């Protein structure tokens, strides 16, 4: 990762964001952990409809991309609203385990601190068998604490809220 840059995403990044999402997580991967048809990060058309002229998703979501040697290799979605401030993070499959996710999260944590946040939140899911989605370990390694809650959804999986105190 010689030239990793994190920057605000633009509408020009939408095809890369969708390609990364589709390559990193299949419908089979997420079948017990989420609602695949809901995810607008997997459709160029859906994502373009959600994007506004300020390079934001509707409802105040900001998108940042990780770029290496001019190629977008990951993205993170952040909002100042609610308790789940990090809405989504995906790193290209071939770049996973190389520190890209960590860099994206640290970037957003620094941004949150600069905006006066003392705590930042996210969530992941758990399937009906009590198995957490693979991101759970990542969030724990990043210092996020499992709230202990399991919020039941109508789709058979549970949401696991996670929080981190920012110093």
Q: What is the DSSP letter of 103?
A: H
Q: What is the pLDDT of residue 58?
A: 56
Q: What is the pLDDT of residue 85?
A: 87
What is the Cα–Cα distance from 26 to 118, expressed in whole angstroms?
Answer: 35
What is the Cα–Cα distance from 164 to 94, expressed in whole angstroms?
Answer: 28
What is the Cα–Cα distance from 51 to 71, expressed in whole angstroms?
Answer: 21
For the segment(s) 4-165, the CATH number from 1.10.10.10, 3.40.50.970, 3.40.630.30, 3.30.360.10 is 3.40.630.30
pLDDT in tens, the chain (167 residues): 568 999 999 889 989 998 998 888 777 767 777 765 555 566 777 777 777 655 555 567 889 999 999 999 999 998 887 666 898 899 999 999 999 999 999 999 999 999 899 999 999 999 888 899 889 999 999 999 999 999 988 888 899 999 999 98
Can you give the pTM of this predicted structure?
0.86
Q: What is the pLDDT of residue 149?
A: 92
Q: What is the pLDDT of residue 40?
A: 55
Q: What is the pLDDT of residue 101?
A: 96
Q: What is the pLDDT of residue 2?
A: 65
Reduced to 3 states (helix: H, G, I; strand: E, B; else coil), residue 89 is strand
Q: Are 66 and 5 in contact (CB under 8 A)?
A: yes
Phi, psi of 133 (to 5 degrees): -60, 150
User: If residue 9 lies in a helix (H) or strand (E), which one and from where to where?
Assistant: none
What is the Cα–Cα distance from 127 to 5, expressed in whole angstroms?
Answer: 34
Q: Are 119 and 166 in contact (CB under 8 A)?
A: yes
Q: What is the DSSP letter of 131?
A: P
Reduced to 3 states (helix: H, G, I; strand: E, B; else coil), residue 133 is coil
Q: What is the pLDDT of residue 45?
A: 73
Q: Are 73 and 100 in contact (CB under 8 A)?
A: yes
Domain ranges across the chain: 4-165
Phi, psi of 41 (to 5 degrees): -75, -5
Contacts 24+ apart (CB under 8 A), 59-62: 61/87, 62/8
């Amino acid at each position: 990762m010689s030239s990793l840059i994190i920057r605000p995403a633009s509408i020009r990044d939408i095809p890369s964001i969708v390609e990364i999402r589709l390559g990193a997580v299949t419908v089979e991967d997420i079948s017990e952990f989420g609602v695949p048809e809901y995810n607008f990060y997997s459709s160029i058309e859906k994502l373009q409809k959600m994007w506004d002229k300020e390079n934001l998703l509707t409802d105040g979501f900001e998108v940042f991309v990780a770029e290496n040697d001019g190629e977008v290799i990951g993205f993170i979605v952040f909002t100042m609203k609610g308790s789940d401030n990090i809405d989504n993070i995906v790193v290209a499959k071939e770049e996973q385990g190389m520190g890209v996710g960590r860099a994206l999260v640290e970037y957003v944590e620094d941004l949150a601190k600069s905006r006066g946040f003392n705590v930042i939140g996210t969530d992941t899911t758990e399937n009906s068998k009590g198995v957490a989605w693979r991101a759970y370990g990542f969030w724990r390694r990043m210092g996020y604490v499992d709230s202990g809650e399991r919020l039941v959804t109508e789709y058979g999986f549970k949401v696991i809220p996670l929080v981190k105190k920012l110093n």
